[in-house]
Amino acid sequence: MKKTAIQDLFAEIKSTHNPGKIATYIPELAKVAPHQFGMYYQPVSGTGFGLGDHKQPFSIQSIAKVFSLTLAMQLEGEALWQRVDVEPSGNPFNSLIQLETEHGIPRNPLINAGALVVCDVLMSHLSSPQADLLQFIRDVTGLPQLSFTETIAHSEDETGYRNRALINLMRDFDNIKNPVEEVLDLYFHLCSINMTCQELAQGFQYLACHGRRSLGGETLITTSQAKRINAIMQLCGFYDEAGDIAYRVGLPGKSGVGGGIIALRPDQYTIALWSPPLNPKGNSYYGMKFLEEFTTLTGTSIF
């Protein structure tokens, strides 16, 4: 892994035209300066390094769904899969059609409906859901200062009509057990976390290290659970672009509408990207382009 080649790649991509569009459905995302671009590479052994705006915090949005899923798997175990499936959706991430057709069981835990069910499961286990979930994320990432961003959570709440439609439909199918508005509140807070590329790459090391904080380090989840999460991220982590990304990038990962991406090669490394403008499928345009060239350059696609 030659650092200079990666630097060259980063510079080259940054110099190309970016046709992407930033998310504007809430003011907090609409006002982010679009030209920002950061990357952090963290091998499972050895020192990582960052490029560009890798120390700039940004709204990780849906990427945080991996943390809540991790905690729900710990707390609920295999019973979780009675409430949410693990198959790719073949539909836009927020479609109600599949949810109606499949009687309120979301296709996977990374689409909005599935992440709402995960939050509902957490509420049934945690005494102070918001505080406890935040503490778990702080522990996993090793970032004790991490917090929710109330303005973002509030904006998500105000525009969250489709999420309200999803959760009420699932409630009607009895697949939501706690009060709808409280589950939504937890969900909106979950999606409001800010992190930097460096924090993301380091915070996701446990999924490259078989569930341990680092190779040989403290066990957070079992090897089997880490494998499950990676498989889910591979098939469902990039909205309706999973198939194309499996080919172009070939790594499990998760993106967010804030323009962030986390990806990882088990046993080898994690890598975080951030650039706000999104491609038509909702994934960071620069981020995907970089990852595609990066796995080709390094020969680290899993395929």
CB 272 within 8 A of CB 261: yes
The CA distance from 167 to 186, in Å, is: 13
CB 242 within 8 A of CB 286: no
Q: How far is the CB of 11 from a copy of itself (least distance, A)?
A: 24
Q: How far is the CB of 44 from a copy of itself (least distance, A)?
A: 14
What Å distances lie between residue 24 and 7, 27, 166, CA to CA? 30, 6, 21
Pairing of strands 38-43, 253-255: unpaired
In this complex, which beta carbon is closest to a copy of itself, that of residue 65 or of residue 228?
Answer: 228
* Amino acid in the structure at residue 184: L
In this complex, which beta carbon is closest to a copy of itself, that of residue 76 or of residue 244?
Answer: 244
Residues that bind a copy of itself (CB under 8 A): 85-91, 95-101, 107-108, 161-162, 164-166, 168-169, 171-172, 180, 226-228, 230-232, 234-236, 240-244, 246-247, 250, 252, 266, 301-303
User: CB-based contacts of 268: which residues, under 8 Å, 6+ apart?
Assistant: 43, 44, 208, 300
Q: How far is the CB of 176 from a copy of itself (least distance, A)?
A: 8
In this complex, which beta carbon is closest to a copy of itself, that of residue 126 or of residue 180?
Answer: 180
Of 126, 181, 143, residue with least CA distance to 64: 143
In this complex, which beta carbon is closest to a copy of itself, that of residue 58 or of residue 269?
Answer: 269
Q: How far is the CB of 141 from a copy of itself (least distance, A)?
A: 21
In this complex, which beta carbon is closest to a copy of itself, that of residue 90 or of residue 142?
Answer: 90
